């Protein structure tokens, strides 16, 4: 029998996931959006072992942000219905996945990306519609003609997608719901022009206020982060960076996790009950001080770019490490 590994024995910094919180989050979302109502976005965790848990909960379609995420999901046997919710100019690697028996639906928003899909051997596309976030997506009133073009190129059009990303970060729930409705009115109108069976949209911030989408592309709900934690959703913080206090002064302490352990675009990680001052490459300074050798669980500000920094995560239950999962969908 392999001796149980203890969280207390992990070298730091270490990316750790609370198994009970993860189970709670997956079950809570499954109850709200069962089966095909949810197309979990793997960019939020980049981990096929975690995606397998989501598949076991009944969600067999997945959303990806990169070609490599698609390749990794197929390699893990999770390629029944992948959507690359992003534009690409060279779809040949996706075409190879399709030729191998995987189902990959590619987002397109321009003549160029429709051509790339057809040239690369992808057979199914979804029309990406701009619903207010200044990013990808064609204007809503252009969606129909783009679908016609795709069909002319021999592609099957599965419907429309539109990411209301500008709405996700609205902290007030009622305001978030109102803005989501505005975005989805644009998407539903485009869907009428495009046809197809899918209206794919949404995320963790709008999973409970977007009845217009036929499927929600939420990803962060499984692990959560400090920003989504402020929105009042029923999901628990599941991912942390475990760090050791390596230095203490009368007014502060320094933990051994920093800029290379945390996505920083949403600000510093949080340490409940403490005040985080700043991060350096391998340090987080915080107060009040603790003893050298103490261990702390830091909450990432933004889960997606945090995951992309780490080789693996340690799944823990209480004091025990119960599994180790590679973060195997990183890079491009």
Binding region for its own copies (CB under 8 A):
11-13, 43, 65-66, 86-90, 109-110, 112-113, 130, 134-137, 139, 165, 244, 246-249, 251-252, 254, 256, 259-260, 263-265, 277, 279-283, 285, 292-293, 302, 304-305, 308-311, 330-332
Instruction: For the CB of residue 198, give the shortest distance to its own copies in the complex, in Å.
Output: 20
Closer by beta carbon to its own copies, 66 or else 179: 66
Cα torsion 37, 117, 163, 311: sign? positive
Which region, left, alpha or beta, applies to residue 195 given φ > 0 means left and ψ of -120 to 50 means alpha? left
Token pair recorded at residue 297: 């669980």
Instruction: For the CB of residue 58, give the shortest distance to its own copies in the complex, in Å.
Output: 25
Dist CA 91 CA 23 (whole Å):
35
Closer by beta carbon to its own copies, 89 or else 192: 89
Close Cβ partners of 144 (under 8 Å, ≥ 6 residues apart): 190, 193, 194
Closer by beta carbon to its own copies, 189 or else 246: 246
Q: Is the Cβ–Cβ distance between 210 and 216 less than 8 Å?
A: yes
Closer by beta carbon to its own copies, 57 or else 130: 130
Instruction: For the CB of residue 117, give the shortest distance to its own copies in the complex, in Å.
Output: 12
- Show the beta-strand stretches assigned E in 40-79: 61-64
Return the residue matching tokens 């995560």. 313
Closer by beta carbon to its own copies, 13 or else 202: 13
Instruction: For the CB of residue 162, give the shortest distance to its own copies in the complex, in Å.
Output: 13
Instruction: For the CB of residue 145, give the shortest distance to its own copies in the complex, in Å.
Output: 16
Closer by beta carbon to its own copies, 56 or else 141: 141
Instruction: For the CB of residue 190, give the shortest distance to its own copies in the complex, in Å.
Output: 15
Token pair recorded at residue 51: 């995606």
Cα torsion 113, 117, 118, 119: sign? positive
Q: Is the Cβ–Cβ distance between 254 and 269 less than 8 Å?
A: no
């Amino acid at each position: 029998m392999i001796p149980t590994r203890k969280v207390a024995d992990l070298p730091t910094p270490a990316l750790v996931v609370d198994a009970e919180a993860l189970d709670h989050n997956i079950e809570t979302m499954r109850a709200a959006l069962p089966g095909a109502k949810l197309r979990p976005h793997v960019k939020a965790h980049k981990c096929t072992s975690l995606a397998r848990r989501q598949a076991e909960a009944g969600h067999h379609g997945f959303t990806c942000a990169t070609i490599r995420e698609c390749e990794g999901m197929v390699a893990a046997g999770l390629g029944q219905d992948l959507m690359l919710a992003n534009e690409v100019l060279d779809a040949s690697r996706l075409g190879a996945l399709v030729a191998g028996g995987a189902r990959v639906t590619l987002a397109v928003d321009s003549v160029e990306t429709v051509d790339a899909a057809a040239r690369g051997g992808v057979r199914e596309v979804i029309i990406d519609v701009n619903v207010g976030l200044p990013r990808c997506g064609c204007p809503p009133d252009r969606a129909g003609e783009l679908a016609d073009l795709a069909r002319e190129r021999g592609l099957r059009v599965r419907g429309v997608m539109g990411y209301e990303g500008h709405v996700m970060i609205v902290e007030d729930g009622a305001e978030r719901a109102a803005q989501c409705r505005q975005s989805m009115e644009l998407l539903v109108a485009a869907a009428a022009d495009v046809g197809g069976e899918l209206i794919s949209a949404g995320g963790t911030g709008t999973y409970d206020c977007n009845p217009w989408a036929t499927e929600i592309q939420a990803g962060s709900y499984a692990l959560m982060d400090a920003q989504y934690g402020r929105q009042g959703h029923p999901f628990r913080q599941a991912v942390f960076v475990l760090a050791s206090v390596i230095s203490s002064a009368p007014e502060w302490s320094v933990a051994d996790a920093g800029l290379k352990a945390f996505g920083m675009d949403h600000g510093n990680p949080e340490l409940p009950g403490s005040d985080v001052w700043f991060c350096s490459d391998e340090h987080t300074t915080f107060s009040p001080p603790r003893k050298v050798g103490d261990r702390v669980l830091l909450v990432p500000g933004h889960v997606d770019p945090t995951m992309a920094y780490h080789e693996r995560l340690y799944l823990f239950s209480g004091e025990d490490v119960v599994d180790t999962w590679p973060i195997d969908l990183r890079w491009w």
